[in-house]
Amino acid sequence: MKQPDFALRRALHVLRQGGVIAYPTEAVYGLGCDPLDGAAVQRLLELKGRPLHKGLILIAAELSQLLPLIQPPSADRLQLLRESWPGPVTWVVAARPELPFWLRGNHTTVAVRVTGHPLAAALCRAFGGALVSTSANPAGLPPARSPLAVRRYFGGRVNQILHGATGGLRRPTEIRSLADGRVLRPA
């Protein structure tokens, strides 16, 4: 189902006003906000009950949206990213030193993905950059897979829910280390 333009425009407005939105991703519904708005990220973490020190995943529509946030990878590692994206692989990469603590947590790295989900990618394109993307669930509970599940978990505390189908994956995206290729979370 194609998301109506007005829903994307409203989501863009919500993001720019420091709001938190929910939207479908490759496997589950995600919660997102402007990654450089510390108050928005704090609100998202409070909704989930997620500790700040863990760090967050950032999604983008294309690699160029992530480059201002990460250390430039070597040519061979850059090729590895390009070969896996867009798609359901999240890579843990070296973060730029100025990347806010609330995104990387107690790490010098950050988890990033160029999403292959059409609605999530359209959202990043409309926003003009990367977005926070964490599963839409309170910590310890299964991730939401529908707008109804998001509403059950969070009620009206999420500013907007974009309706659409998830990408059909049964499990959240695989997470790998770009430094050595290790699988940190299997698909």
Domain ranges within the chain, ordered by starting residue: 5-185
DSSP for 83-134, written as a single string: HH-SSSEEEEEEBPTTS-HHHHTTSSEEEEEE---HHHHHHHHHHTS-EE-E
Count of beta carbons in the 10 Å neighbourhood of residue 110: 26
Please tell me the predicted confidence (pLDDT) of residue 172. 85
Q: Please give the mean pLDDT across all residues of the chain.
A: 95
Q: Tell me the pLDDT tens digit for each residue of 84-141.
A: 999 999 999 999 999 999 999 999 999 999 999 999 999 999 999 999 999 999 999 9
Please tell me the predicted confidence (pLDDT) of residue 3. 53
pLDDT of 1 strictly over 70: no
pLDDT of 2 strictly over 60: no
In which element (H, E) is residue 176 found?
A: strand 174-177
Q: Tell me the pLDDT tens digit for each residue of 148-174.
A: 999 999 999 999 999 999 998 988 889
Q: Tell me the pLDDT tens digit for each residue of 38-73.
A: 999 999 999 999 999 999 999 999 999 999 999 999
Domain 5-185 has CATH 3.90.870.10: yes
Closest CA to 176 of 91, 87, 57: 91
DSSP for 13-72, written as a single string: HHHHTT--EEEE-SSSEEEE--TT-HHHHHHHHHHHT--GGG--EEEESSGGGTTTTBPP
